Amino acid sequence: MFTNGTLLAGQSLKSATSTHMVTLTLDGDLVASVNGVAYWHTNTSGSGATVLLMGADCNLALYKQLGDATPVFSSGTAGQGSNCFMIMQSDDNVVVYNKLPDGGTRFVWNRYNFPQGNLY
């Protein structure tokens, strides 16, 4: 999911192998799963979140609706870059990277930075 990209409630983003996915559930929780078994979430069930936004400021955030000023969940990475993207990797990790001008990437955030929602 690239800069300014969104994931709406009920939508999923799959890994390259399609075995791992991150889903924004209809009840507002962002959930990572492998083969349908959840292993991590943002603990935002019941929050009313309907959209996940990869912001132009590099902040990955869940909002009740697009345009809201206050997120119900945030990666806390605002200002870490201007060309960031989020991917669901095949190693169980949800990761935000910053694409650099030379074509390389720089790690910004992953699900391990937010263990409060961990299901393990």
Domain ranges of the chain: 6-115
Q: pLDDT of the chain along its 120 residues, tens only? A: 999 999 999 999 999 989 999 999 999 999 999 999 999 999 999 999 999 999 999 999 999 999 898 999 999 999 999 899 999 998 889 999 999 999 999 999 998 776 444 433
State the fold for domain 6-115: Agglutinin, subunit A (2.90.10)
Q: How far is CA 34 from CA 24, 30, 74, 89, in A?
A: 15, 14, 23, 11
69 CB burial (10 A radius; 0-12, 13-18, 19+)? exposed
Rounded CA gap, 37 and 102, in Å? 38
Q: Please say whether the beta carbons of 19 and 91 come within 8 A.
A: no
Could you tell me how far CA 89 lies from the centroid of its own chain? Answer: 12
